[in-house]
Amino acid sequence: MSTTENVAELLAVTEETKGTVSGTIKGKITHWGSGIITEFDAPYIWRDHEQRFRFFGNMDDPNLPGNKISVGLTFKDADQGSGDFQWDDEEIEDLFFANWRPDQILRAQSGSVTFRRNAEDRIHGRLEFITRPIELNQYTVEVIYDIEAPR
């Protein structure tokens, strides 16, 4: 699992970036300390596979107005094929939940990825993981995704 700045770079991407694609990333995010469950349904999805294969979804945080939250995955190989993976498999570079304020990127400490890539380069699957704690924040992330190929 990488601890590089690539996730921070992804979060800086704006909706005008050419990596924007159609699709869904939705599910639930559970905060361990408070028990608050956030329904995650990203209206903005970004995907690219130039140097590695990565995607993430952003949405407004319903629990903190003005904040955004994100869920994402990065594979080391831009041509990553279908498979079932554990969070720490060598194919996975990063699996994360991000809370833009207070600027926390919480990486997986356990969990799994289901990744399916069809002939038209559409991807779908599931991300289920528990984040490493930062201060008093730790989350369980359970989302499904179905994302079109970039145009």
Express each pLDDT in 94-108 by its tens digit.
999 998 877 789 999
Burial 11-23 (b: 16+ CB within 10 A, else e): bebeeeeebebeb
> Which residue is associated with the tokens 């498979």?
83
16-71, pLDDT tens digit by residue?
565 788 999 999 999 999 999 999 999 999 998 878 999 999 999 999 998 899 99
Give the span between the Cα atoms of 102 and 79, in whole angstroms: 34
3-state helix, strand, coil in the chain (%, to 5): 5, 55, 40
Question: CB-based burial of residue 113 (10 Å sphere; 0-12 exposed, 13-18 middle, 19+ buried)?
Answer: buried
Give the pLDDT confidence score for residue 12 in this predicted structure.
63
Closest C-alpha among 138, 135, 115, 133 to residue 125: 115
Structure tokens given for 28 = 């639930």
Beta bridge partners of 104: 99
pTM beyond cutoff 0.85 = yes
